[in-house]
């Protein structure tokens, strides 16, 4: 019987909960064999190389989401990567002591906590805690109240996930940057993956070996699932799709000037691959110029694009649009 697919966000959620539940941390083997989303595919004593690569990508993903994941070397075994332990220190994942809430805000948070309590201790979470105890670990309870900051999935995610499980083609309308109207695409879904916190579809054009990557946020229609099945190619398709986007990300570099000690400087320097350069300049990588232009335009006067020229023009156009929309406002 085929193993049911576990949504990526559910796997990340379970990983964060597990790493918060014990102060001593978990080894990679303990994580892969017990945590929801890994355990279903773990082969005891077998080849788990694909699963280990998935875990490495997940580590990067939750760090990019702001979760302080740490690695701890085993006592007396420096440099032994097989016995590294992973943990999330609670003190760094809690609200600062100087953060306070009004009575109204506290009431809303308490209501949210009730809802969270029902979801965080689901049957799967309870089974995971039992597995951790069976390893001789003592999870610190309750784990309620520690919510991973995972981005909401796009509307297209669920139907695409279903199509992936059934290996059937799909049709949807896709709007590329700069286009006035969307175009219809019919593709064979091969994988869903995240890059920089955004969901992408890696797919094949039917009747060919031509593969393409689509950003889910640009799918502007309902995804229609077709009846015709296809045989997916062998290999880790998510890794192939991610490698393609990373290649684009590595090849695109922008340089911007930021206001010293500004919010823009802090945010841009925290991006993966960013670095301070001469003066108040920051160099950063990007995979999608339109998305980066949106982000930079939102930073207003705190940032000025130096290069490339097409990115500079895109940001200027967005700022002109904002000004035109607000002209005449009192």
Q: Looking at residue 126, what is its pLDDT?
A: 52
**Measured between alpha carbons, how far is residue 318 from residues 55, 253, 296, 309, 312 in Å?**
38, 20, 10, 14, 10
Pairwise CA distance, residues 329 & 146, whole Å: 43
* Confidence (pLDDT) at 34: 86
Residue whose pair of structure tokens reads 């075994």 in the numeric block: 77
Please give the pLDDT value at position 146.
39
- Using the CB atoms, write b or e for 313-322: b if 16+ within 10 Å: ebbeebbeee
For residue 213, count other CB atoms closer than 10 A to its CB.
19
Of 279, 291, 284, 323, nearest to 307 (Cα)?
284
Structure-token pair, residue 87: 């943990």
Question: Where do we find the tokens 């109207």?
Answer: 181
Quote the CA–CA distance of 292 and 69 in Å, as a whole number: 26
Residues 151, 32 contacting (CB under 8 angstroms): no
pLDDT at 270: 85
| pLDDT score for 225 | 95
Residue with tokens 């306070």: 100
Structure tokens at 252: 């695109």
**pLDDT value of residue 286:** 94
pLDDT value at residue 78: 64
- Model pTM? 0.56
Neighbours of 324 (CB within 10 A): 9
Please, are residues 162 and 226 in contact by the beta-carbon 8 Å criterion? no
3-state SS, residue 231? coil
Q: For the chain, which residues score pLDDT lower than 70? A: 1-5, 74-82, 90-153, 328-330
For 246-272, b where at least 16 C-beta lie within 10 A, e where not — what string? Answer: eeebeebebbbbbeeebebbebbeebe
Rounded distance between C-alpha atoms, residue 306 and residue 299, angstroms? 15
Closest residue by Cα to residue 283 from 262, 257, 259, 301? 257
Domains of the chain are: 8-134 (no CATH), 157-239 (2.30.30), 252-326 (3.30.70)
Check residue 70 and give its pLDDT.
87
């Amino acid at each position: 019987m085929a193993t049911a697919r576990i949504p990526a966000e559910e796997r990340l959620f379970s990983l964060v909960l597990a790493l918060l539940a014990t102060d001593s941390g978990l080894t990679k083997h303990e994580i892969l064999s017990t945590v929801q989303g890994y355990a279903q595919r773990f082969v005891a004593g077998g080849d788990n190389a694909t699963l280990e690569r998935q875990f490495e990508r997940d580590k990067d993903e939750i760090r990019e989401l702001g979760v302080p994941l740490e690695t701890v070397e085993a006592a007396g075994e420096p440099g032994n990567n097989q016995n590294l332990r992973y943990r999330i220190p609670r003190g760094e994942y809690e609200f600062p002591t100087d953060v306070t809430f009004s009575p109204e805000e506290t009431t809303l948070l308490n209501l949210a906590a009730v809802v969270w309590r029902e979801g965080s201790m689901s049957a799967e979470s309870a089974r995971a805690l039992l597995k951790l105890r069976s390893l001789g670990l003592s999870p610190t309870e309750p784990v309620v109240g520690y919510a991973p900051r995972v981005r909401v999935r796009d509307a297209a995610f669920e139907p695409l996930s279903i199509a992936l499980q059934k290996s059937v083609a799909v049709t949807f309308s896709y709007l590329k940057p700069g286009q006035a109207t969307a175009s219809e695409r019919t593709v064979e879904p091969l994988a869903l993956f995240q890059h920089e916190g955004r969901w992408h579809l890696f797919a094949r054009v039917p009747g060919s070996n031509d593969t393409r990557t689509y950003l889910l946020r640009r799918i502007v229609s309902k995804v229609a699932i077709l009846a015709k099945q296809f045989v997916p190619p062998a290999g880790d398709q998510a890794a192939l799709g991610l490698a393609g986007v990373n290649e684009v990300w590595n090849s695109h570099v922008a340089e911007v000037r930021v206001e010293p000690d500004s919010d823009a400087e802090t945010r841009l320097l925290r991006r993966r691959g960013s670095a301070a350069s001469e003066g108040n300049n920051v160099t950063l990588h990007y995979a999608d110029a339109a998305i980066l232009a949106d982000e930079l335009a939102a930073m207003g006067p705190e940032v000025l694009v130096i290069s490339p020229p097409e990115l500079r023009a895109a940001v200027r156009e967005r700022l002109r649009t904002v000004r035109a929309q607000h002209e005449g406002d009192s």
